[in-house]
Structure 1
């Protein structure tokens, strides 16, 4: 079985202590960021507009009053993304009918390749309650900024590229407040209890 590895960002391996503990990836900074700079803003204060895998516009206001689970990734991701989406599918199954209350979204950090049609094909491999979101590069950047997620394009041979990105799963209460973050490295048995607390 392929060994799990988180794809995170950071200059010289420097990882902000708070960001590391939350599992949201590394934030490049000379000084330790304040709590407000590291934690995602409430859903109701986010300002992005993206398009889902069915071609519909989605805004943060559409999620008002619902618990939310968000993961950043991309369809060409070799391991972290399919592993996490498979885990999310299992968590949703374990939650039973309660999972229907959740908004669950994959936000692509590779809008150049991840069109709605490409995302539709990709998310069809996982639980049907998972939506794929993409959009113009500036809107993806705004979403990442609101969630305090990080990503960057990494060149490969022959003009190809991959994406480094935050690997945590963000959980929000129905009122839009951050509930928790499921770190890629943490024991998966803690994930469903975290999600259940988000639903309550």
Structure 2
């Protein structure tokens, strides 16, 4: 079994469940078309999340947010060397996408690496290929990755840069984004695939 498969099977442990500096979404105002879809557990303005970015895809092509968010998109920030959290969260996202596929709703899962020093396009392609055939992996220069992270108000911090096998503390939210609108919802890691699929369906029906 390869390293990625082993990581995906690992149990919940450490690796950085830092809450993350994000603005979380609330129930919305009366003119919010998605008000009935929101959980109400998170408060803030979804318009404050997301924004322009320039990154490198797993194919080596430079892309922007307009190239990536061409339809309903689930976006997660993590890294392939993550021993447990990232594989589990992305497996959950992939399972939700499969449930949506079965219902005829096409959503693209995206994985943005916060570890540009180690996550090459080739390694990202291996990771995303293991997770879901339609998952897109993105990396870039440290400045490009940092800019994307800031746009989505995510948090990440390398624990020990001198350690060859360093871990990274990072936020673990998944963002639902639509072209032309940007981020419309945030999912925490406690949401099940079934719950995510149902909530995404609500947003799609209201889009």
Same fold, TM exceeding 0.5?
yes
Change (3 A) 1:119 1:63: closer
Query: Secondary structure at the residue paired with 1:119?
Result: helix
Is the 1:73–1:106 contact (alpha carbons within 8 Å) kept by the matching residues of 2? yes
- After TM superposition, list the pairs within 5 Å mapping 1:176-191 onto structure 2: 176-191=181-196
- Displacement of 1:65 in angstroms is 5.0
| Deviation of the 1:19 alpha carbon | 4.8
Unaligned runs of 5+ in 1: 22-33
TM-superposed CA distance for 1:148, in Å, is: 0.9
Normalising by structure 2, report the TM-score. 0.74
What is residue 2 of structure 1 aligned with on the other side? Answer: 11
Query: Any residues of structure 2 matched to 1:5-84 within 5 Å, and which?
Result: 7-9=16-18, 19=24, 35=44, 39-41=48-50, 46-63=51-68, 65-84=70-89
Could you tell me which residue of structure 2 aligns to residue 110 of structure 1? 115
Mind listing any 5+ residue stretches in structure 2 that lack a counterpart? 1-9, 27-42
Does 2:201 match 1:192? Answer: no
CA–CA separation in structure 1 for the residues paired with 2:21 and 2:199: 23
Shift of 1:158: 4.8
Root-mean-square deviation (Å)? 3.0
Contact 2:58 2:124 in 1 (8 A): yes
Shift of 1:139: 0.6
TM-score by structure 1 length?
0.76
